[in-house]
């Protein structure tokens, strides 16, 4: 699905700290024996500075019981991801991926100009893009933009509006730091594509404003 797309952001500086790299095989073309190649991506991502990894098929590190389990349980056909908070780490990861020649499809989500620069610096040529044309229909049903920004970092909608509001309330009450709140909001995101680094900044801002 388009789960790493539609990540709403209104602050370009925050979006500059939000990258997801997705890796997957293609059904009936190169999926047989893909598990070890996908696992190798996880290793490369972590060595390159990824702040989170996750697996659509098996769940995130909290659900699986630790990062080592996430690496161990990767199967053929999995769709896996790593989250990065800076361009330098993405470039490092792409350079190693290119050299590793795993043969798996690699999709980078982030600001198009930033991702373009990452490709250029790692010697890759963008092949296909996917653009979000926003939200349509009864958009008056949506909550405040900041809440939507946090919610859309889990493309499957697992991080509920009420949980986000509860996290903001706890920050305002001094019970949680923004970082702790963001880490707690990461937990329901089974694919592990929720970016707690960016979420903490938005949460801190919402706690001041709301």
Partner 1 sequence: MKIDETKCTGCGTCVPYCPAEAISLAGRKGPQPAGGRKKQNQVAVIDFDECAECGVCLRSANCPADAIYQQELVYPRSIRSLMSDVLTIAPESQISGRGTEEMKTNEVTGRFPRGVAGLAIEVGRPITGTRLRDVEKIAMAVAALNVEFEKINPTTSMMSDIKTGKFKDELLNEKVLSAIIEFCVRVEQLPELFGILKTVEKQIDSVFSLDVACRLNPDGSNPTQSYIASAGLWVAPNGKTNVGLGRPLIQEGLSK
Task: Determine, following the binding rule CB under 8 A, whether residue 5 of this chain makes contact with partner 1.
Answer: yes
Q: Does 174 bind partner 1 (CB under 8 A)?
A: no
Q: What is the distance between the alpha carbons of residues 45 and 25, in angstroms, rounded to a whole number?
A: 17
Q: Decide if residue 18 touches partner 1 (CB under 8 A).
A: yes
Asked whether 52 and 80 are in contact (CB, 8 A), the reply is: no
Does residue 151 belong to the site contacting partner 1 (CB under 8 A)? Answer: yes
Per CB under 8 A, the list member of 13, 137, 174, 209 interacting with partner 1 is: 137
Starting at the earlier edge strand, list the strands of the sheet with 80-84. Answer: 19-24, 80-84, 52-55, 59-60
Number of residues engaging partner 1 in binding (CB under 8 A): 82
| Smallest distance from partner 1 to CB 83, Å | 14
Contact of 118 with 94, CB cutoff 8 Å: yes
Nearest to 12 by CA among 113, 119, 92, 117: 113
Q: What is the DSSP letter of 85?
A: S
Among 1, 13, 173, 174, binds partner 1 (CB under 8 A): 1
Largest CA distance in the chain: 53
Site for partner 1 in 19-58 (CB under 8 A): 22, 24-27, 29-30, 56-58
> Is 190 an interacting residue with respect to partner 1 (CB under 8 A)?
yes
51 or 78: CB nearest partner 1: 78
**Candidate list 43, 88, 112, 210; residue touching partner 1; CB under 8 A:** 112
């Amino acid at each position: 699905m388009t789960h790493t797309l539609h990540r709403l952001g209104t602050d370009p500086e925050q979006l500059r700290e939000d990258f997801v790299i997705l890796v997957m095989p293609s059904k009936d073309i190169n999926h047989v024996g893909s598990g070890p190649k996908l696992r190798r991506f996880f290793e490369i991502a972590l060595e390159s500075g990824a702040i989170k990894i996750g697996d659509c098929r098996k769940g995130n590190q909290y659900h699986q019981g630790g990062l080592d389990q996430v690496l161990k349980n990767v199967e053929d056909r999995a769709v896996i991801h790593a989250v990065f908070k800076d361009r330098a780490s993405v470039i490092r990861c792409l350079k190693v991926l290119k050299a590793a020649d795993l043969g798996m499809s690699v999709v980078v989500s982030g600001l198009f100009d930033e991702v373009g620069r990452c490709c250029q610096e790692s010697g890759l040529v963008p092949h296909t893009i996917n653009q979000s044309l926003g939200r349509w229909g009864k958009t008056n049903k949506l909550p405040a933009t900041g809440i939507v920004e946090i919610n859309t970092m889990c493309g499957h909608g697992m991080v509920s509006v009420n949980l986000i509001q509860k996290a903001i309330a706890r920050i305002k009450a001094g019970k949680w730091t923004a970082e702790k709140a963001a880490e707690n909001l990461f937990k329901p995101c089974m694919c592990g594509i929720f970016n707690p680094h960016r979420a903490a900044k938005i949460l801190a801002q919402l706690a001041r404003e709301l």
